[in-house]
Amino acid sequence: MYEEELEVAIKVVIVGNGAVGKSSMIQRYCKGIFTRDYKKTIGVDFLERQISLGGEEVRLMVWDTAGQEEFDAITRAYYRGAQACVLAFSTTDRDSFEAVRSWKKKVEDECGEIPTVLVQNKIDLADHSVVEPEEAEMLARSLGCRLFRVSVKEDVNVGPVFRHLAACCLEEMHAEEEAMGMGGYQPPAISAFSLPVSPLHKGSKHHHHHHGAIAIKSRGRRIFRTHHAGKNMLRGACSII
Ligand SMILES: Nc1nc2c(ncn2[C@@H]2O[C@H](COP(=O)(O)OP(=O)(O)OP(=O)(O)O)[C@@H](O)[C@H]2O)c(=O)[nH]1
Ligand SMILES: [Mg+2]
């Protein structure tokens, strides 16, 4: 049964101040459309896009969150389980640039360190820029992430942002697989009396039935290979048999 083709699903969150273009970026990437009107996001939503990368099928679930402070409490909960993050600011909004660090922290509080990129959106408005190119580069360097200059409106550089994140996640996943010396899904068997205590499994809370076994899915940044049928395969999970 494990010969079936598996795909990798990655949850990506986009964060940043209101009106920097988060929803626009997701619409552009997942639906290929752009709208001029600004309708602030209330709460959260997500769209998907499947890409193939180095011969692997990757399903990106891109989560849109509200940038307005008033929705902070709601949106934080949705960062949980994200495996990659886009920190977005706008070329024409100084506050949004200065808020980047605090957005990174909010995501880190929920997800730990995950592959992250800095996105400067609205470069089509470079004539009205309030952020020097060197400042953006310096910020990216000090955050330890790559900077992408993007225009969602003109469709410049949007795809590469997500390909880069997907590639980072795949690389991590392969490194982990290699370290575990496994070619696929092989849940380590444990006894019901020796529940896992490794950091990987702390905070485990989701139970999943799989062929008579109970798998305990670890919280956080695991990247799951899933059956095309949509049934979850739990990588690196423990099972009580
Ligand atoms: N000129 C220009 N405008 C853009 C670009 N991307 C988005 N916009 C516009 O910026 C405004 C805000 O975009 P949204 O995508 O709604 O912003 P948001 O970050 O989702 O905002 P919140 O939901 O409030 O957090 C809209 O009017 C968009 O049309 C871009 O690359 N260039
Ligand atoms: Mg929005």
Domain ranges of the chain: 3-173
Predicted confidence at residue 63, as pLDDT, reads 96
pTM for this entry: 0.79
Residues 151-179 have a mean pLDDT of 95
Q: How far apart are CA 41 and CA 65, in angstroms?
A: 7
Judge whether residue 120 has pLDDT over 80.
yes
What distance in angstroms lies between residue 168's CA and the mean position of ligand 1's atoms?
A: 26
CATH topology of domain 3-173: Rossmann fold (3.40.50)
Is ligand 1 within 6 A of the CB of residue 90?
A: no
Q: What angle do CA 175, 181, 184 make, to 5 degrees?
A: 85
Residues 202-224 have a mean pLDDT of 41
| pLDDT grade for 125, boundaries at 50, 70 and 90 | very high
| pLDDT grade for 206, boundaries at 50, 70 and 90 | very low
| Residues 33-64 pLDDT 10s | 999 999 998 877 899 999 999 999 999 999 99
Is ligand 1 within 6 A of the CB of residue 121?
A: yes
What distance in angstroms lies between residue 161's CA and the mean position of ligand 1's atoms?
A: 17
Instruction: Please give, one letter per residue, the 3-state secondary structure of the chain.
Output: CCCCCEEEEEEEEEECCCCCCHHHHHHHHHHCCCCCCCCCCCCEEEEEEEEEECCEEEEEEEEEECCCHHHHHHHHHHHCCCCEEEEEEECCCHHHHHCHHHHHHHHHHHHCCCCEEEEEECHHHHHHCCCCHHHHHHHHHHHCCEEEECECCCCECHHHHHHHHHHHHHHHHHHHHHHHCCCCCCCCEECCCCCCCCCCCCCCCEEEEECCEEEEECCCCCCEEEECCCCECCCCCEEEC
Q: How far apart are CA 196 and CA 198, in angstroms?
A: 6
Residue bearing the bigger pLDDT, 69 or 225: 69
- In order of 3, 161, 186, the CA distances from 157 in angstroms are 36, 7, 38
**Listed residue (116, 110, 156, 155) closest to 12, CA to CA:** 116
Ligand positioned closest to the Cα atom of 22 = 1
Predicted confidence at residue 177, as pLDDT, reads 85
What distance in angstroms lies between residue 78's CA and the mean position of ligand 2's atoms?
A: 14
Q: How far apart are CA 111 and CA 61, in angstroms?
A: 16
CB burial class (10 A; 0-12, 13-18, 19+) of residue 62?
buried
Is ligand 1 within 6 A of the CB of residue 122?
A: yes
What distance in angstroms lies between residue 2's CA and the mean position of ligand 2's atoms?
A: 39
Judge whether residue 105 has pLDDT over 80.
yes
Protein residue closest via CA to atom 6 of ligand 1: 21
Is ligand 1 within 6 A of the CB of residue 149?
A: no
Structural contact between residues 69 and 106, judged by C-beta atoms closer than 8 angstroms: no
Is ligand 1 within 6 A of the CB of residue 38?
A: yes
